[in-house]
Structure 1
């Protein structure tokens, strides 16, 4: 029951873990992992349950849940380093076994930030420990032979300690070989790369330490040698591919260069460097005699003492199990993807930008609000297409109207990254550059000095990023900077490279403070309650008149049988009011947890059933007012399972069913909102006509519980679910649809960015029950409009809804619980007037005025007899 402005709808993908379980996760979260990003972009996987992305063997459901929690936090833009550090410290508080499994799973998903985080945690655990202690911590066996322990260390730095240690090992190895020769044991020589504890710690902590070799296990040496050769060839190929990539591309799908992410979605990725090859690259062997003997004797004596202690600690190498956990165990090739060349315009909601202005710091010269920018394109003087970009934190503000924006020629930067002075001469053109190799402000400064009038930066992903100022120094950039998604930039480059004259305009239209759609939505909600209240009051008065007639002519037996009740209506009591909110909460959580495409389809079917019933009830009641249809409305026919049904109902029902079916089939077209609103209004009016609040006490309990319900699920639920459950359900984020159908919505007519203004059924039905009760009381008490309660209750509802829209705009479009404002207005007005007029006791308990008994004249006769 939240009123929300249009926001970018989330999308979801399907993942399958090693045990075969399949789950649906947010795409923007899952795409934080480069491996998943590659599967989605290059192979199109994950779009449905049948095409779920199969995760590596090391990723079980428990580890996937932890990884998604990590990604869900870090993919949110604008978090401070302090917040991220605090989260990371709490995140890695787990036992060593679980930490190793998480490292391995993160590595298999190519999530380098998490690998670095967990590896540093493991490094702190083993820091200062001897190899024996390390083996005890990780339960590792000592499976090295005496010969493998004495293999020389491969190190390209001429460290005297390493060289002297190699001399020591060379002597011991020579003695070992002599003993083996005496036993006539043939020993197979094979090169093995060793690495020290300090070097491995340096790698884990992200340092650029010297490379070491990777230890090979004693078993399967020949097979591993062949694998090393294949790996070396593959690494060379990956290195060649990397040289061909654009310098502006980042290493993973979730990278952000001096900027903050706006909305993670399908992102392009560049080369993922083969860190394993860099850190543990195989080096050329050297002989035992390749040791520098020209070392100063005093230094040599000092180093010898260090070497003895060093040798004691370095009596073993890392077993293969630790290599699998801590190293980047699989080769990573560059990830490529195909561009969307159809020229379609990606739609972004302004709310995705301006809602997070407070998370990026501002300072002189870097204080712009993040806004979406429209970039219309003219090809050879003909307007072809319009792209959407995002403005930078720095630079001048853009024009808000297209007629004030200049059509300017577009030129490619040379070099493409615009990190150095362009070779081509610029005379006021807008320059198109690639992201990467230098900061955004550096690119803008270079473009400004070269004579460009504006700079368009092509992102390396198909999404948009915020461009902020990287340093703390003030900046003074006098040309606007706009970032475009990668597909848009690729199309523009293609046009320019084909010698086509391309010109663009840059402008950022503002959303109107009040769109006429909100006015119509307000009128729709108020009008619905108005019509439903009059129908409910008219029906109640007709029933009361009918009861009076029956009671006047009633016999003694009839009076003893009980009073006449009104059939066909449901009176809410206090317990049912409380249970309603509890059941509504459970249903909302079920929607949140089970929301999917198929679940929304079920909701559409249920909505159509309710809409058909409501529309048929309203049409029958409306047509019955005309004398031509009264005869059909008063003649009935018995139908199995339905009982007596009027001929008019039978005639109207097929039309209602056809209307609902047509809407369900074509509900995704642009004007389908009309059919949804017709069915919704009919359903609301029917509910308000059937369900009644008997007195003010029940109304207070119902609206009071709904008041807390709305606030909790819009605001408080963020603490438990990390997002507003009510808003997520209302938008239908997890369904791939444009929200659930239990809404009234109207497209924003004068909003340049489009979208809908919506209001939930609950924001109309629950206050409508109290408003309808006020009109029933006024009519039964024969009060005038001014002396009654209905006009005041209706006015209070309209003002409460109006305040809701004001709050919605003041909060930059963040979803607002409408009942937070409507309930105090309506309920407060009703109780205040009732107390002032002296009717509060009757309103609170009876709910209707006292009426003279129409058969009072029968009492003396009864006593006389």
Structure 2
């Protein structure tokens, strides 16, 4: 078909909306391993068209293929094939210069088993007029440049891969887990807040003791002015994060660690106070502190620090993040108090405007036409510039 060409953003989005159901993109797993590395293997996500190629459903049935890096070669003509050939290789090429299926035809003539297209995003599955390339039988898949770069850094140049597509379950249990966590957090936070309010209502105003007065101070009442200030701060932070993501992302991580560690302490301390044993105390500057609470504060700080250090670990860091997030939400629901319906209406109305503006209106303002909210929600892996910032 010749060189690729670009459509206007609106036309491309319209065509993408029509073509997406036809491409039937499906995720698959690329299992990479190397010789002489401390890491035995690692899995990466790829995207392919199941109507073009059928992959095995298990790793045991997948075939081992040597990976060949041809990202410095356009692979748009037979002369681009290296002297050693491509026999029984999985070839990695760059997006662009010529049509993907043309690259696949040339790779197939060279003896390749698969063609992996390294792109900034794997959101664009292999599509096109398949009838023009009936002779192309090899696997065509997409892999992100970030994953391919990580693969090279992890295993070097000698890489063996296996590709398979696990069967999708009929029911995604993770949706149920997320629902249970959300309902549990809101219900428990509301119940905790109600208990404190009930205790305050039972207290006699004139004879209120110090402990009950302290519990009253645990509340943070949100009035209309506080609501406006809160939303304005959110807007300012959103804009600052968009322009200064490289530095402020670490500020946000630090704020989350401090807030979540304090929240985890408050949640666990409420449970520990109901345990009758282990109530020995130490006195410092006239104040008595329970020893178990000192150890508890150290544990909460350690959990937050471990998450901050290993937050990019895909296998287990999300567990700590969920625990810290649940504790943060519980403490927030327990602490914040909306005194009247007016404050609720103002808060929800401003948050609605906040979401609509940063999701749907900012694409008309930003230079690249992207939504600020979407870019920040996608994190550092949403675009190349932020990836480079995060890896430096």
- TM bucket by the smaller chain? 0.5 to 0.7
Match of 1:517 among 162, 169, 174: 174
Alignment of 1:664 onto 2:308: yes
Q: Distance in 2 between matches of 1:650 and 1:617?
A: 12
* CA contact 1:611–1:680 (8 Å) conserved in 2: yes
How far did residue 466 of structure 1 move? 6.2
Normalising by the residue count of structure 1, what TM-score does the alignment of the two structures yield? 0.33
Higher strand share: 2
How far did residue 580 of structure 1 move? 1.8
* CA contact 1:373–1:388 (8 Å) conserved in 2: yes
Alignment of 1:542 onto 2:199: yes
Match of 1:457 among 98, 115, 120: 115
* CA contact 2:267–2:327 (8 Å) conserved in 1: yes
Q: What does 1:378-777 align with in structure 2 at a 5 Å threshold?
A: 390-391=47-48, 396-399=52-55, 401-402=57-58, 407=63, 419=78, 440-441=100-101, 455-457=113-115, 469=128, 474-477=132-135, 479-482=137-140, 506-509=163-166, 515-547=172-204, 550=207, 566-596=216-246, 598-628=247-277, 646-647=289-290, 649-650=293-294, 652-669=296-313, 670-721=315-366, 722-733=369-380
3-state SS of paired residue (1:627): coil
With over 3 angstroms needed to count, the CA separation of the structure-2 counterparts of 1:390 and 1:681, relative to structure 1, is closer
With over 3 angstroms needed to count, the CA separation of the structure-2 counterparts of 1:621 and 1:441, relative to structure 1, is closer
Q: Distance in 2 between matches of 1:708 and 1:511?
A: 38
Q: Distance in 2 between matches of 1:602 and 1:438?
A: 43
With over 3 angstroms needed to count, the CA separation of the structure-2 counterparts of 1:638 and 1:528, relative to structure 1, is farther
Q: Distance in 1 between matches of 2:296 and 2:280?
A: 15
* CA contact 2:23–2:127 (8 Å) conserved in 1: no
Q: Distance in 2 between matches of 1:686 and 1:627?
A: 23
Q: Distance in 1 between matches of 2:261 and 2:255?
A: 10
With over 3 angstroms needed to count, the CA separation of the structure-2 counterparts of 1:662 and 1:79, relative to structure 1, is same
Q: Distance in 2 between matches of 1:460 and 1:650?
A: 51
Q: Distance in 2 between matches of 1:460 and 1:690?
A: 48
- Structure of higher CA gyration radius: 1
Deviations along 1:344-380, whole A, 9 cap, x unmatched? xxxxxxxxxxxx89439869xxx5344455455899x
How far did residue 505 of structure 1 move? 6.0
Gaps of 5+ in 2: 35-39, 69-74, 82-86, 209-214
Q: Distance in 1 between matches of 2:158 and 2:310?
A: 37
How far did residue 514 of structure 1 move? 5.6
3-state SS of paired residue (1:628): coil
With over 3 angstroms needed to count, the CA separation of the structure-2 counterparts of 1:610 and 1:410, relative to structure 1, is closer
How far did residue 534 of structure 1 move? 1.2
With over 3 angstroms needed to count, the CA separation of the structure-2 counterparts of 1:738 and 1:621, relative to structure 1, is farther
| Structure-2 residue corresponding to 1:287 | none
With over 3 angstroms needed to count, the CA separation of the structure-2 counterparts of 1:513 and 1:573, relative to structure 1, is farther
With over 3 angstroms needed to count, the CA separation of the structure-2 counterparts of 1:540 and 1:358, relative to structure 1, is same
Deviations along 1:713-735, whole A, 9 cap, x unmatched? 23332222332322333343276
Q: Distance in 2 between matches of 1:689 and 1:529?
A: 10
| Number of residues of Structure 1 aligned to a counterpart in Structure 2 | 346
How far did residue 389 of structure 1 move? 5.5
* CA contact 2:119–2:142 (8 Å) conserved in 1: no
Question: What is the aligned-residue RMSD (CA, Å)?
Answer: 5.3
3-state SS of paired residue (1:398): coil
3-state SS of paired residue (1:482): strand
How far did residue 569 of structure 1 move? 1.9
Q: Distance in 2 between matches of 1:369 and 1:442?
A: 21
3-state SS of paired residue (1:694): coil
Q: Distance in 2 between matches of 1:675 and 1:684?
A: 14
Q: Distance in 2 between matches of 1:612 and 1:376?
A: 36
3-state SS of paired residue (1:401): coil
How far did residue 711 of structure 1 move? 3.0
* CA contact 1:717–1:725 (8 Å) conserved in 2: yes
| Structure-2 residue corresponding to 1:798 | none
